[in-house]
Chains A and B, each alone.
Chain A
Amino acid sequence: MKNILDRNQNKADEVRRLLRMKNVVMVNLISSPGAGKTTLLERTCEELGSTFRMGIIEGDITTDRDAQRLKKYNIPIVVINTEGGCHLDSHSIFKVLGSFDLDNLDVLFVENVGNLICPSQFDLGETFKLAMISTAEGDDKPVKYPMIFREAKAVLLNKTDLIPYTNFSHSGFMEDLKKINDRIPVFEVSCTKGDGLGKWFEWIRAQIPQSGIRT
């Protein structure tokens, strides 16, 4: 029996081998549209930009608006417009890796196209996936989209400052998430207000090999 996604998987394996050789951590950031991926990257660039050599791949169906927001941090950014496609695949990632100086990079964040289903099926060759959800989307996302919460290395729960204005049940969310993946770390943050970001920064720092000690 032949796996239909073999072509994507083979390329993803190639990406992974290349990044491992260059000692670059690639983070595949997945969420619904509007959950706060770009704002998280803004805060993360501000905090880590001076310690780590960062790069960003912006996956967008169309436009470079997210990339425009991140330009001010003066780090290499490449936009992949999927022109209607609902996810990035390993071939598109491999193609743009050549635009980065991988010998001078510690971490590469991939902002996937906003979508909780499709991106979780396509291995990009990332070091790990990160799932983000915002409180305004409702607390039922883990049970509705179990695959991404099963595969991610950590979950960011964003827009915690909006909880009083929504019907988001914090205990319901945590209970459902634990049914799917009870060991996964959860960072409760408000990327616009800055709440809870300290723990996220601490965690993400620990995932990246320290700049300058690479061999």
Chain B
Amino acid sequence: MHELKIAQDLSAIVLEAAEKENLSKVTKVSISFGQLIQIVPDIFEFAFREAVRGTVSQDAELTIEIVPVKMRCNECRTDFEVKHSLFRCSFCGSTDLNILTGKELFVKSIEGE
């Protein structure tokens, strides 16, 4: 249930932005989560609803994009997508890898009026 803590932090970020931009109502919040963060979208949606209850974001639509895990091999410099938790270069087999994507926890946009 790290979803709840993350939803609370997200709600605080949205409220701060709404205040700064003088929004009376937040209509849409778009976020992206990396697959490695292991967020369950349904649980997150539920947690978000709880976190924004009674605020200017309470009716905001929430869009969640899940970003797949991509890595770069430090041996052959190939970029590839990781599937089934196989953290190994799909071209040369090396395990000396850098995570390129998959750890995102970003607010992409906040819309309101």
Contact between B107 and A2, CB atoms less than 8 A apart: yes
Contact between B2 and A117, CB atoms less than 8 A apart: yes
Given contacts A121-B2, A183-B95, contact A4 B13 (CB under 8 A): yes
Please tell me the size bucket of the interface on B.
Answer: 20 to 34
Q: Which of B3-11, B19-27, B52-60, B72-80 contacts A (4 or more CB under 8 A)?
A: B3-11
Contact between B36 and A147, CB atoms less than 8 A apart: yes
Given contacts A4-B107, A121-B37, A147-B38, contact A179 B9 (CB under 8 A): no
Cβ distance A59 to chain B, nearest Cβ, rounded Å: 14
A147 contact set on B, CB distance < 8 A:
36-38
Contact between B5 and A85, CB atoms less than 8 A apart: yes
Cβ distance A123 to chain B, nearest Cβ, rounded Å: 11
B108 contact set on A, CB distance < 8 A:
1
A118 contact set on B, CB distance < 8 A:
1-2, 5
Q: Which one, B9, B38, B85, B87, contacts A5 given CB within 8 A? A: B9
Contact between A87 and B38, CB atoms less than 8 A apart: no
Contact between A146 and B9, CB atoms less than 8 A apart: no
Query: A86 an interface residue at 8 Å Cβ cutoff?
Result: yes
Contact between A3 and B106, CB atoms less than 8 A apart: yes
Contact between B31 and A179, CB atoms less than 8 A apart: no
A182 to B95, CA, bound (A): 7
Contact between A180 and B87, CB atoms less than 8 A apart: yes
Contact between B1 and A86, CB atoms less than 8 A apart: yes
A89 contact set on B, CB distance < 8 A:
5
Contact between A179 and B87, CB atoms less than 8 A apart: yes
B10 contact set on A, CB distance < 8 A:
4
Interface centre among A1, A4, A147 (most CB of B within 10 A): A4
Within 8 A of B (CB), among A1-17: 1-8
Given contacts A121-B37, A146-B36, contact A5 B6 (CB under 8 A): yes
Q: Which one, A4, A144, A145, contacts B105 given CB within 8 A? A: A4
Cβ distance B28 to chain A, nearest Cβ, rounded Å: 15
Q: Beta-carbon contacts of A77-89 to B below 8 Å, as 1s and 0s?
A: 0000000011101
Interface centre among B5, B9, B37, B86 (most CB of A within 10 A): B5
A86 contact set on B, CB distance < 8 A:
1-2
B36 contact set on A, CB distance < 8 A:
146-147, 150
> Whose C-beta in chain A lies nearest to the C-beta of B13?
A2
Query: B100 an interface residue at 8 Å Cβ cutoff?
Result: no
Which residues of B approach A to under 8 Å, CB–CB?
1-2, 5-6, 9-10, 12-13, 31-32, 36-38, 84-88, 95, 99, 105-108
Beyond A147-B37, A182-B95, 6 additional pairs, beta carbon < 8 A: A4-B10, A145-B38, A146-B87, A147-B38, A176-B85, A179-B86
